[in-house]
C-alpha cells in the first residue's frame, strides 16, 4: 500500500469485518516478521471473518501473513512487504471432543497446551511435542509442520490430522477429511496444508485422532565416545524388537544447551553473553519407552551396559529432560542471537554423513556446531553458534550452508530455520528439495493465483 | 477407438502389449466394484518411459487414460469408457530395491501388495498396509486408493507408509516427489498424491516403508450372544488405553458363512465375534492380552479364546480375509460399501443396519474394521430380480446416509471412484469441491487422466458384477497376513 489514506481506508474496512478493537496499524506493537512490520494487523474470530479479510486482500492484491502464536514467524525468507497480518488466536477453543471416539476438533487459534490439558483429563493425548506449545497454536503447528522427539514413533501431525478447514486466498472456506480416523473421500488436503507455511490457505480448524496416554515411561540415556559408536547403537536398536517412543541423538556440543533457556542480557550487542565453551566428546543416544514395569525392565536388559542413567516418568527429571530437548533450539537462540539453526530431512542412513558434514562445515566458517534430533527419522535440529572471537559476516552463513548442503547424502534436504535476517538475502534458506518444484509452483498458483499469502517467504 | 491412436500405442510399447479386440477388452470392463464399461484399448507399458510415451500421446490426441492395477478396486476407479485407454501397470511388477538399513523398498506399481512382505520377511520386515485383497491388489492401486486393511488400526494406512514417488504426469512429464527420507523440504506432494485415485498422475515407482516384524503376536477371538455386546466391547477396548494391532468384527450371519467356507473354528451359534490382534514385545503382548480378555468378559463376551499357535492364528485370520469370497459362495451377488462412523456410534449404526435389513427383507452381513469404525455391510441380492437390485441400492444409500448422520464418511478405504461420486456433495460443500477441482487442474488440467472420477461433474451409470477376482499371490512361509 502506498499511501496513508489507503491504509486508513483499509483499516476501516477491516474494522467493519472484525470490529474496531481488533484492528491495529503499524505504530501499535504489531510484531515484525524478519524485521518487516505489517502495515495493518487484524485479529479475526471465525473462518467467515478470515474469508472476508482474504477476499478483500485478494481483490486488491494485498500481501497477507497469517499468524498464530508467533513462535515460528521468523522461519523463511524476508518478505518484501506485509500488508495485512491476519491473526487467528481468537478462533479458539476445542470444537468437539468425544473421548470414546478418540477424535478431537480444534479451532486453529487454540494453543496445544490447552488441547493437551483437555485430553489429559481423560488420560488421552496427542503424541505431539514440538517446542513452545504453551504459545504455539494448532493452526501454526499444522502450517509449519513443526515436530518434536515423539515423531520417532508417532510421525508428525500429518500422520494423525484427520480433517482440516481453511480459507483460501480467494476467500472460500474449504475443508478436507472429517472426524473419523479412516477416510478417503476426496483429496487429502490435510497433507497438503501440513507444512505449507500459510502459503496455500489460512487454517481455521484441524481435527486429529488422539491416543491413550502411556501410563508410565522411562528414559534411557546412553553415552558413547564417538559418533560411529552412537550410530551403530542406534542401528542395533532399530533392528531389535524394541519399540521406543523417542530415539534421539545428542551431540557433544549440545549438552550445555539442554537446560532452561537463559535469555541474553544485552540483545543488541553482537557478542553472545556467554561464550560457547569447548565441547566434550560424548555423543548420546536417548530412548524413551512406554509400558509396564515388566516391559521397561526388558528395555533395561536389552540395552545393557550402554545405559548410563535412567529417568522415570514419576520423577520430574524425565519430563524436564525432554522439555530441554524440545527447546534446544530456543535455548540456543536465547544465548546466541546470531546463531543459525537448520532442520534436516534424510534417509536414516544419512544421519551419520550429515553429522560429519556439520562437524566439517561449521569450523571452516567459524561456527561451533551442536545437534539434537531424531536419530532414526533423519529429522535433526542443527545449531551453528558463531565464534564470539570472530563474528561471521553474512556471506559466511551463506557459505557454511552451501558447504554443508554440498556434503549431504543424496535425497537429503535441509532448510535454514533461523539465522540473522541480514544474512538471508545472500542465500536460499529453503535450499533444494527432492520433490518436483514445477508441481509445487503449479499447486501454489492454482490455489493462490495472485500470490497474496506469505509472498516471498516459502519455497513457493 | 481411433485406429491411429492404437497404431501409435503399438509403436511405443510393441504390438503384443496393446489389446483392442472386443473379446480381449471384455476382461477389462469391470473391476471389483459394480460399475462396468468397455474401454477402447488396453495398453501394457513395461517401463516408465513407456508410460511417459503413452501419456504424451494421450495428451496430444486428447484421449482419456485410466490407470489400472489388479482391478480389485471396489469403487469403479479403474473403469474406462469406450473412448478411453486402460493403462495396465501389470507388467511393471518388479521390486526395484530393498534397502533394509533405511527401512525402505522401492517397487514398481504392479507389484502385488503381499509380494513386498514376502520379499522382506526373511530380513525381519514387512509392509504394513494389508487390504483383504493383498494377494492380488497392487502397490500402485494401493497408492491410488490410500488403501487400508485390518492392521492399519495401529500402523496407519498407505499414506503413512509411502515416502517417495516417481510419477508420470498427464502430459508425459516424469517427476519425483519425496524419496527415502521420512519427509522433505517444501510441500508434501507425496502425501497429497496418495489417495488421489489416479487423477493426478501415474505412479511408476513407489518408495515404501518397511516395518520391523513384531517379536510377538497373539490373536483373541471373543464370542458374543448379541451384536450390541460386541459393539460395546469395541468402545470399551479403545477406552481402556490399549490400541490393538487389529480389531475386527463379524456378525453371526458372516460367522456362519465363513465357517462353512474355511472351517476356521468360529462358533456357528454366535451372534457376533471380535477378532483382536495384539503385537509388540512379548511382555507387553501378554499383559495386553489379559487386559483385553478382561474387558471382553466384562462386556458380556460368552467366551474369549486365544489362538494357541501360529497355525490357529492364521486360520482365524483366513476366516476374516476370505469373508467376501465366502459370501460369493452363498449369494448370487452382493453389494458392499465402506462407510465410516465414529467408534462410539458402532452399536447404534449396527442397530440401524439391522432395521434397514428387515425393512427391505435383504440379508446384510457385517464384517468390518470395528476399531476404526470402518463398516463393510454386505448386502445380498439376486441380480435377476430387479426389485432386489433396486432395494439393495436403496439399502446401501440408507446405510451411508446413516454414517453421514453420525458424522462419518462415505468411504474409509475403497475410494470414491465412480460409485460414490454422487455422494460427495453430501460430505463436501461446493467450495470444498471447487478447491479440489482447482488442485486437480494443477496436475491434470484437461482431465485426461481418469476423467469423471471422485469429484462429481457428470451423470454416473452402474451395473452389477459378481465377487472379487481370485488371489494371485500366496503368502510365503512365515509371512504375516
Chain A residues whose CB is inside 8 A of the B440 CB are 187
Chain B residues whose CB is inside 8 A of the A432 CB are 185
Start-to-end C-alpha separation, chain A: 23
Chain B residues whose CB is inside 8 A of the A300 CB are none
Closest B-chain CA to A457: B186
- Contacts (Cβ under 8 Å, ≥6 apart) of A186: A176, A177, B416, B424, B427, B428, B432, B433, B436, B454, B455
A300 touches chain B (CB under 8 A): no
| Of A45-54, B12-21, B170-179, B308-317, minimum mean pLDDT range | B308-317
Q: Does the pLDDT at position A271 exceed 70?
A: no
User: For chain A, how long is the longest CA-to-CA vector?
Assistant: 72
Q: Does the pLDDT at position A244 exceed 70?
A: yes
Q: Is B178 helix (H, G, I), strand (E, B) or coil?
A: strand
Closest B-chain CA to A99: B239
Mean pLDDT along residues A284-299? 97
| ipTM score | 0.96
| H or E, element range at A373 | strand A367-374
- At residue A260, φ and ψ (nearest 5 deg) are -65, 135
Instruction: Identify which has the larger pLDDT, B328 or B179.
Output: B179
Share of chain B above pLDDT 70, in %: 95
Q: Does the pLDDT at position B453 exceed 50?
A: yes
Instruction: Identify which has the larger pLDDT, A364 or A3.
Output: A364
Task: For residue A50, give how far its alpha carbon lies from the nearest alpha carbon of chain B (Å).
Answer: 15
Nearest alpha carbon to residue A87 among A206, A207, A176, A198: A198
Amino acid B480: pLDDT: 62
Q: Does the pLDDT at position B181 exceed 70?
A: yes
- Return residues 119-138 of B near A (CB < 8 Å): 124
B337 touches chain A (CB under 8 A): no
Alpha helices in A70-188 (DSSP H): 112-120, 138-144, 151-154
Give the number of A-B residue pairs with CB atoms closer than 8 Å.
270
CB contact under 8 A, A212 and B235: no
**Who among B173, B342, B410 is closest to A185 (CB)?**
B410
Task: For residue A390, give how far its alpha carbon lies from the nearest alpha carbon of chain B (Å).
Answer: 31
Share of chain A above pLDDT 90, in %: 87
B268 touches chain A (CB under 8 A): no
A292 touches chain B (CB under 8 A): yes
Task: Please provide the average confidence, as pLDDT, over all residues in chain B.
Answer: 92
Nearest alpha carbon to residue A174 among A197, A202, A209: A202
Amino acid B239: pLDDT: 81
What pLDDT digit, counting tens, does each position of B64-90 carry? 999 999 999 999 999 999 999 999 999
Mean pLDDT along residues B210-221? 96
CB contact under 8 A, A180 and B341: yes
Going by pLDDT thresholds of 50, 70 and 90, the confidence category of residue A360 is: very high
- Contacts (Cβ under 8 Å, ≥6 apart) of B387: none
Give the count of beta carbons closer than 10 Å to the beta carbon of residue B431: 17
CB contact under 8 A, A291 and B281: yes
What pLDDT digit, counting tens, does each position of B275-325 carry? 999 999 999 999 999 999 999 999 999 999 999 999 999 999 988 888 888
Chain B residues whose CB is inside 8 A of the A188 CB are 146, 159, 191-192, 194-196
Q: Is A455 helix (H, G, I), strand (E, B) or coil?
A: coil
- At residue B329, φ and ψ (nearest 5 deg) are -75, -30
Q: Which three cell numbers stand for residue B310?
A: 501360529
Task: For residue A442, give how far its alpha carbon lies from the nearest alpha carbon of chain B (Å).
Answer: 5
Going by pLDDT thresholds of 50, 70 and 90, the confidence category of residue A278 is: low
Amino acid B459: pLDDT: 34
Going by pLDDT thresholds of 50, 70 and 90, the confidence category of residue B468 is: very low
Task: Please provide the average confidence, as pLDDT, over all residues in chain A.
Answer: 93
Q: Does the pLDDT at position B465 exceed 80?
A: no
Chain A residues whose CB is inside 8 A of the B184 CB are 345, 413, 433-435
Going by pLDDT thresholds of 50, 70 and 90, the confidence category of residue B430 is: very high
Amino acid B466: pLDDT: 37
What pLDDT digit, counting tens, does each position of A377-435 carry? 999 999 999 886 666 788 999 999 999 999 999 999 999 999 999 999 999 999 999 99
Question: How far apart, in whole angstroms, are the C-alpha atoms of residue B142 and residue B127?
Answer: 12
Going by pLDDT thresholds of 50, 70 and 90, the confidence category of residue B403 is: very high
**Probe site for chain B from A48, A174, A186 (most B CB atoms < 10 A):** A186
**Who among A186, A195, A431 is closest to B424 (CB)?**
A186
CB contact under 8 A, A184 and B101: no
Q: Which three cell numbers stand for residue B328?
A: 460369493
Instruction: Identify which has the larger pLDDT, B269 or B458.
Output: B269
- Return residues 311-350 of A near B (CB < 8 Å): 345-350
Q: Which three cell numbers stand for residue B280?
A: 509388540
- At residue B269, φ and ψ (nearest 5 deg) are -100, 5
CB contact under 8 A, A185 and B436: no
Task: For residue B439, give how far its alpha carbon lies from the nearest alpha carbon of chain A (Å).
Answer: 6
Give the count of beta carbons closer than 10 Å to the beta carbon of residue B458: 9
Mean pLDDT along residues B343-347? 91
Question: How far apart, in whole angstroms, are the C-alpha atoms of residue A244 and residue A299?
Answer: 9
Amino acid at each position: 500500500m502506498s499511501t496513508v489514506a489507503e491504509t486508513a481506508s483499509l483499516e476501516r474496512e477491516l474494522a467493519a469485518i472484525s470490529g474496531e478493537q481488533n484492528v491495529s496499524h503499524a505504530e501499535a506493537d504489531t510484531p515484525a516478521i524478519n524485521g518487516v512490520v505489517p502495515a495493518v494487523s487484524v485479529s479475526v474470530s471465525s473462518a467467515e471473518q478470515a474469508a472476508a479479510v482474504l477476499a478483500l486482500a485478494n481483490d486488491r492484491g494485498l500481501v497477507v501473513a497469517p499468524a498464530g502464536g508467533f513462535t515460528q514467524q521468523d522461519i523463511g525468507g524476508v518478505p518484501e512487504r506485509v500488508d495485512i497480518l491476519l491473526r487467528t488466536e481468537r478462533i479458539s477453543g476445542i470444537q468437539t471432543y468425544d473421548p470414546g471416539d478418540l477424535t478431537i476438533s480444534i479451532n486453529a487459534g487454540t494453543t496445544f497446551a490447552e488441547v493437551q490439558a483437555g485430553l489429559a483429563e481423560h488420560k488421552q493425548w496427542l503424541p505431539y511435542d514440538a517446542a513452545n506449545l504453551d504459545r504455539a497454536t494448532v493452526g501454526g503447528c499444522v502450517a509449519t509442520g513443526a515436530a518434536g522427539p515423539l515423531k520417532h514413533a508417532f510421525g508428525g501431525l500429518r500422520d494423525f490430522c484427520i480433517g482440516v478447514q481453511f480459507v483460501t486466498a480467494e476467500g472460500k472456506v474449504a475443508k478436507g477429511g472429517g472426524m473419523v480416523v479412516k477416510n478417503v473421500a476426496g483429496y487429502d488436503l490435510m497433507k497438503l496444508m501440513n507444512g505449507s507455511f500459510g502459503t496455500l490457505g489460512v487454517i481455521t480448524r484441524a481435527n486429529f485422532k488422539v491416543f491413550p496416554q502411556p501410563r508410565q515411561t522411562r528414559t534411557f540415556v546412553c553415552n558413547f565416545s564417538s559418533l560411529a559408536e552412537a550410530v551403530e547403537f542406534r542401528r542395533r536398536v532399530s533392528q531389535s524388537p524394541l519399540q521406543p517412543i523417542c530415539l534421539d541423538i545428542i551431540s557433544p556440543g549440545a549438552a550445555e544447551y539442554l537446560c532452561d533457556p537463559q535469555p541474553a542480557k544485552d540483545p543488541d550487542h553482537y557478542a553472545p553473553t556467554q561464550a560457547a565453551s569447548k565441547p566434550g566428546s560424548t555423543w548420546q543416544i536417548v530412548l524413551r519407552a512406554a509400558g509396564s514395569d515388566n516391559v521397561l525392565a526388558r528395555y533395561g536388559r536389552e540395552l545393557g551396559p550402554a545405559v548410563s542413567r535412567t529417568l522415570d516418568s514419576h520423577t520430574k527429571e524425565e519430563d524436564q529432560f525432554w522439555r530441554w530437548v524440545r527447546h534446544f533450539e530456543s535455548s540456543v537462540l536465547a544465548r546466541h542471537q546470531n546463531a543459525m539453526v537448520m532442520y534436516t530431512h534424510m534417509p536414516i542412513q544419512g544421519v551419520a554423513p550429515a553429522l560429519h558434514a556439520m562437524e566439517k562445515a561449521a569450523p571452516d566458517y567459524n561456527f561451533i556446531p551442536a545437534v539434537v534430533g531424531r536419530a532414526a527419522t533423519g529429522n535433526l535440529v542443527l545449531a551453528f553458534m558463531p565464534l564470539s572471537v570472530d563474528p561471521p559476516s553474512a556471506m559466511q552463513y551463506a557459505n557454511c550452508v552451501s558447504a554443508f548442503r554440498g556434503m549431504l547424502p543424496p535425497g537429503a534436504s535441509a532448510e535454514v530455520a533461523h539465522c540473522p535476517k541480514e544474512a538471508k538475502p545472500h542465500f536460499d534458506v529453503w535450499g533444494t528439495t527432492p520433490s518436483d518444484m514445477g508441481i509445487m509452483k503449479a499447486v501454489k498458483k492454482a490455489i493462490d493465483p495472485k500470490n497474496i499469502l506469505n509472498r516471498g517467504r516459502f519455497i513457493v | 477407438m481411433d485406429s491411429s491412436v492404437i497404431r501409435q500405442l503399438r509403436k511405443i510399447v510393441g504390438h503384443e502389449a496393446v489389446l483392442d479386440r472386443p473379446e480381449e477388452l471384455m476382461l477389462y470392463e469391470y473391476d471389483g466394484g459394480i460399475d462396468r464399461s468397455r474401454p477402447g484399448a488396453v495398453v501394457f507399458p513395461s517401463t516408465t518411459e513407456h508410460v511417459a510415451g503413452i501419456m504424451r500421446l494421450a495428451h496430444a490426441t486428447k484421449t482419456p487414460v485410466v490407470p489400472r492395477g489388479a482391478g480389485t478396486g471396489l469403487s469403479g476407479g479403474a473403469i474406462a469408457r469406450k473412448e478411453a485407454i486402460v493403462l495396465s501397470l501389470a507388467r511393471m511388477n518388479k521390486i526395484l530395491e530393498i534397502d533394509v538399513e533405511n527401512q525402505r523398498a522401492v517397487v514398481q506399481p504392479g507389484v502385488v501388495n503381499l509380494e513386498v512382505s514376502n520379499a522382506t520377511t526373511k530380513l525381519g520386515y514387512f509392509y504394513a498396509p494389508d487390504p483383504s485383497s493383498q494377494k492380488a491388489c497392487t502397490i500402485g492401486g494401493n497408492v491410488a486408493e490410500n488403501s487400508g486393511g485390518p492392521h492399519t488400526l495401529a500402523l496407519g494406512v498407505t499414506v503413512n507408509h509411502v515416502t517417495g514417488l516417481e510419477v508420470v504426469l498427464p502430459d508425459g512429464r516424469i517427476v519425483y516427489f519425496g524419496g527415502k527420507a521420512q519427509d522433505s523440504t517444501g510441500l508434501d506432494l507425496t502425501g497429497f498424491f496418495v489417495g488421489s485415485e489416479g487423477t493426478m498422475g501415474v505412479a511408476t515407482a513407489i518408495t515404501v516403508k518397511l516395518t520391523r516384524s513384531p517379536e510377538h503376536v497373539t490373536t483373541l477371538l471373543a464370542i458374543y450372544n448379541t451384536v450390541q455386546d460386541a459393539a460395546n466391547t469395541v468402545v470399551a477396548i479403545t477406552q481402556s488405553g490399549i490400541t490393538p494391532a487389529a480389531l475386527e468384527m463379524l456378525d453371526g450371519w458372516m460367522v456362519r458363512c465363513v465357517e462353512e467356507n474355511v472351517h476356521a473354528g468360529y462358533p456357528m451359534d454366535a451372534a457376533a465375534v471380535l477378532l483382536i490382534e495384539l503385537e509388540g514385545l512379548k511382555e507387553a503382548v501378554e499383559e495386553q492380552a489379559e487386559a483385553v480378555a478382561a474387558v471382553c468378559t466384562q462386556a458380556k463376551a460368552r467366551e474369549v479364546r486365544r489362538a494357541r499357535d501360529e497355525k490357529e492364528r492364521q486360520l482365524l485370520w483366513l476366516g476374516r480375509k476370505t469373508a467376501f469370497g465366502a459370501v460369493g459362495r452363498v449369494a448370487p451377488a452382493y453389494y458392499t460399501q465402506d462407510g465410516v462412523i465414529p467408534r462410539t456410534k458402532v452399536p447404534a449404526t449396527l442397530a440401524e443396519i439391522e432395521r434397514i435389513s428387515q425393512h427391505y427383507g435383504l440379508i446384510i452381513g457385517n464384517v468390518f474394521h470395528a476399531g476404526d469404525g470402518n463398516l463393510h455391510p454386505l448386502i445380498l441380492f439376486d441380480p435377476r430380480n430387479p426389485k432386489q437390485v433396486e432395494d439393495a441400492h436403496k439399502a446401501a444409500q440408507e446405510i451411508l446416509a446413516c454414517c453421514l448422520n453420525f458424522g462419518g464418511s462415505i468411504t474409509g478405504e475403497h475410494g470414491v471412484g465412480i460409485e460414490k461420486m454422487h455422494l460427495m456433495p453430501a460430505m463436501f460443500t461446493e467450495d470444498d469441491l471447487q478447491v479440489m477441482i482447482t488442485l486437480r487442474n494443477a496436475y491434470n488440467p484437461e482431465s485426461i487422466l481418469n476423467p469423471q472420477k471422485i469429484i462429481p461433474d457428470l451423470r454416473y451409470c452402474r451395473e452389477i458384477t459378481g465377487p472379487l477376482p481370485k488371489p494371485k499371490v500366496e503368502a510365503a512361509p512365515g509371512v504375516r497376513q
